[in-house]
Every structure is written in structure tokens, then in C-alpha cells.
Amino acid sequence: MKSSKHDAEVTIFTDGACSGNPGPGGWAYVIRHNPTGKEDEGSGGDPHTTNNKMEMQAVIEGLKRLKKDGVRVHVVTDSSYVQQGITSWIINWKKNNWHLKSSKGKPVKNVELWKEMDALVQKHIVTFELVKGHSGHPENERCDELAVAAYQQYL
């Protein structure tokens, strides 16, 4: 049975940020347990990274916080790279042994993070929603605030 955002037990809002690309970066998530409304936040940073890595790390860290397997999860991200990668591109990447287009193609960038995210997604029933960043979405704005604060320690 396919899950939707309307029957999700948990919603994970995520964001990544970088000062320069590459440069110091931060990631953040807000997890909401939908039946109770209880929320949990987390963030972290890296002194030298890319924006895409931080976007991915935010999803990974949010999924790692789940205490049991088989949770109906709705992930909200402003990263089309993450949303497209995990819902579409990953199918062929896996068929092509984590290479682009064919086994003779270039290796997928950030492959270790993609593999980690894929393993975590496989433990749950996950849907992904793409939202426009910096557009007043309250949870996306909160994640951005946390991610920026996380990388500012490296400036």
C-alpha cells in the first residue's frame, strides 16, 4: 500500500545550507509526530562540504532519529536534487551499479550518502514532497535557520 502525506505518522522537514559551494555547511531537520504534534529538531555542520551533501545529510539524520522500522514518513525538502534523486534517478543508478547511464559512465556523485539514504528509506514507507525554499514555509524556514547557525561556527 502506497503511503501519502495525509496518512503519514511522521513528517520530517529538512534543509541544508552552505556558505560558498563548497564551503562551510550545515544541515537541519524538524520531525513532527503527526498524531501528537510533538516535534524534535536537530542540526549539525561540516567545515568543508557542498550544499547538496548538506541537503542529503538533513534527510539522513532525520530518518536516523526514528526509533522503529516501518514508519509512514513524509519528507518535505526544498532540494530537487534530493527529491528527484531518491524518487527517480536512484532506480537507474542502482541498475548501473551506482554509475550514470551505464557501467562505463561516471560514478554517481555523493554515492555513499545516496546509499545511506536509500538504506534508511527502505526501512520505512516514505514519500517526498518538494517545496520552494525561502518562500515563507514555516518549517522550511526553521530548518534553514538551524542549518545556517550550524555552519556559522566554521566562519
Cell of 24: 562551510
Which has the closest alpha carbon to 30: 150, 132, 146? 146
Pick the catalytic residue: 7, 45, 144, 145? 144
Q: Is 55 a catalytic residue?
A: yes
Residue 134 C-alpha from the chain's centroid: 17
Q: Is 78 a catalytic residue?
A: yes
Pick the catalytic residue: 7, 33, 48, 134? 134
Pick the catalytic residue: 25, 42, 55, 139? 55
Q: Is 15 a catalytic residue?
A: yes
First to last CA, the chain: 46
DSSP string, 106-137: PBPTTHHHHHHHHHHHHTSEEEEEE--TTSS-
Can you give the C-alpha Rg of the chain in angstroms?
15
Pick the catalytic residue: 45, 61, 62, 78? 78
Q: Is 69 a catalytic residue?
A: no
Instruction: Give catalytic residues, as residue numbers.
Output: 15-16, 55, 78, 134, 144
